[in-house]
Amino acid sequence: MSKIATLEIGGKKYELPVITGTENEVAIDIAALRGATNGVITIDPGFKNTGSCESAITFLDGEEGILRYRGYAIEDLAEKASFLEVAYLLIFGELPTKEQLEKFHTDIKIESQVDEDIKKILDGFPKSAHPMGVLSSLTSALVAFNPSSVNVESPEDMYKAIVKILGKFPVLTAWAYRKRAGLPLDYGDDSLTYVENFLQMMFKKPNGSYKVNPVVADALDKLLILHADHEQNCSTSTVRMVGSSHVGLFASLSAGISALWGPLHGGANQAVIEMLEAIREDGGDTHRYMAKAKDKDDPFRLMGFGHRVYKNFDPRAKIIKKSADQVLEALGIQDEVLDIAKGLEKEALEDSYFVDRKLYPNVDFYSGIIYRALGIPEEMFTAMFALGRLPGWIAQWREMRLRKEPIGRPRQVYVGETHRPFVNIEKR
Tell me the pairing of strands 26-28 and 58-61. Answer: unpaired
Nearer Cβ to ligand CMC (66/330): 66
DSSP code for 361: B
Coil, strand or helix at 305: strand
Q: How far is the CB of 211 from ligand CMC (least distance, A)?
A: 33
Nearer Cβ to ligand CMC (181/264): 264
Q: How far is the CB of 397 from ligand CMC (least distance, A)?
A: 18
Nearer Cβ to ligand CMC (156/356): 356
Residues in the chain: 428
- Residues 6+ away with beta carbon under 8 Å from 12: none
Nearer Cβ to ligand CMC (248/306): 306
Among 68, 168, 179, 265, binds ligand CMC (CB under 6 A): 265
- By beta carbon distance, the residue nearest ligand CMC is 306
User: Cα(171)–Cα(390) distance, rounded to whole angstroms?
Assistant: 13
* 357 binds ligand CMC, rule: CB under 6 A: yes
Nearer Cβ to ligand CMC (229/364): 364
* 306 binds ligand CMC, rule: CB under 6 A: yes
Yes or no: say if 286 and 341 are a contact pair by the CB < 8 Å rule.
Answer: no
- Classify burial at 58, counting beta carbons within 10 Å of its beta carbon; exposed 0-12, middle 13-18, buried 19 or more: buried
Is residue 364 among the annotated active site residues?
yes
User: Cα(133)–Cα(162) distance, rounded to whole angstroms?
Assistant: 22
Segment interacting with ligand CMC, rule: CB under 6 A, options 53-61, 138-146, 188-196, 355-363: 355-363
Yes or no: say if 18 and 28 are a contact pair by the CB < 8 Å rule.
Answer: yes
* 293 binds ligand CMC, rule: CB under 6 A: yes
Q: How far is the CB of 294 from ligand CMC (least distance, A)?
A: 7
Segment interacting with ligand CMC, rule: CB under 6 A, options 62-70, 91-99, 330-338, 354-362: 354-362
Pick out residues in 210-249 that bind ligand CMC (CB under 6 A): 233
Segment interacting with ligand CMC, rule: CB under 6 A, options 72-80, 175-183, 296-304, 367-375: 296-304
User: Cα(115)–Cα(185) distance, rounded to whole angstroms?
Assistant: 12
Yes or no: say if 368 and 273 are a contact pair by the CB < 8 Å rule.
Answer: yes
User: Cα(241)–Cα(252) distance, rounded to whole angstroms?
Assistant: 8
Segment interacting with ligand CMC, rule: CB under 6 A, options 65-73, 299-307, 404-412, 415-423: 299-307
* 304 binds ligand CMC, rule: CB under 6 A: yes
Q: Which of 115, 307, 314, 339 is catalytic?
A: 307
Yes or no: say if 33 and 40 are a contact pair by the CB < 8 Å rule.
Answer: yes
User: Cα(35)–Cα(13) distance, rounded to whole angstroms?
Assistant: 14
Our measurement of the distance from residue 304's CA atom to the centroid of its chain's CA atoms, rounded to an integer in Å, reads 14
DSSP H/E element including 68: strand 66-69
Q: Is the dihedral of CA 101, 104, 109, 113 positive or negative?
A: negative
Is residue 307 among the annotated active site residues?
yes
DSSP H/E element including 14: strand 12-20
Which among 133, 364, 396, 134 has a CA at the least distance from the CA of 261?
Answer: 133
* 321 binds ligand CMC, rule: CB under 6 A: no
* 388 binds ligand CMC, rule: CB under 6 A: no
Nearer Cβ to ligand CMC (306/392): 306
User: Cα(72)–Cα(60) distance, rounded to whole angstroms?
Assistant: 11
Nearer Cβ to ligand CMC (112/233): 233
Among 268, 275, 341, 376, binds ligand CMC (CB under 6 A): 268
* 303 binds ligand CMC, rule: CB under 6 A: yes
Segment interacting with ligand CMC, rule: CB under 6 A, options 59-67, 214-222, 258-266, 318-326: 258-266
Q: How far is the CB of 360 from ligand CMC (least distance, A)?
A: 10
* 167 binds ligand CMC, rule: CB under 6 A: no
Catalytic site positions: 307, 364
Binding site for ligand CMC (CB under 6 A): 46, 233, 264-266, 268, 293, 301-308, 357, 359, 362-364
